[in-house]
Amino acid sequence: MGVTTDPTDPILVRRALYARLANLGNRIGYLLLGVAVVAFIAGFVTDFPQVAVTVTIVGLVGACIVLPPAIVAGYAVKAAEREDRKAGR
């Protein structure tokens, strides 16, 4: 029994969708975190104007909302793939 590579297998299709969503969530989450860091540094240099504080907070809150589910979904997809390899599917 080899590994199933049928592109019409609904499990594999759904897993690929979750993998893409997890990847997108990671990219967006880390981008928001990067924006927050840059805004904080810019605010630190310029005595924290209100816009820098707002962008920092929005970036951090956005990253805290987007990143955890994306990271968990990414690990879930990897674990499912690893389990399939162990089972010979």
Q: DSSP readout, 66-83?
A: HHHHHHHHHHHHHHHHHH
In this model, does residue 70 exceed pLDDT 90? Answer: yes
In this model, does residue 2 exceed pLDDT 90? Answer: no
Asked whether 30 and 82 are in contact (CB, 8 A), the reply is: no
So what's the pLDDT on residue 3?
53
Q: Single out the residue of 15, 34, 1 nearest to residue 79, CA to CA.
A: 15
SS3 at position 1:
coil
Instruction: State the chain's mean pLDDT as an integer.
Output: 93
So what's the pLDDT on residue 89?
76
Write down the domain spans for the chain: 10-84
Percent of the chain's residues with pLDDT above 90: 85
Asked whether 30 and 67 are in contact (CB, 8 A), the reply is: yes
So what's the pLDDT on residue 1?
43
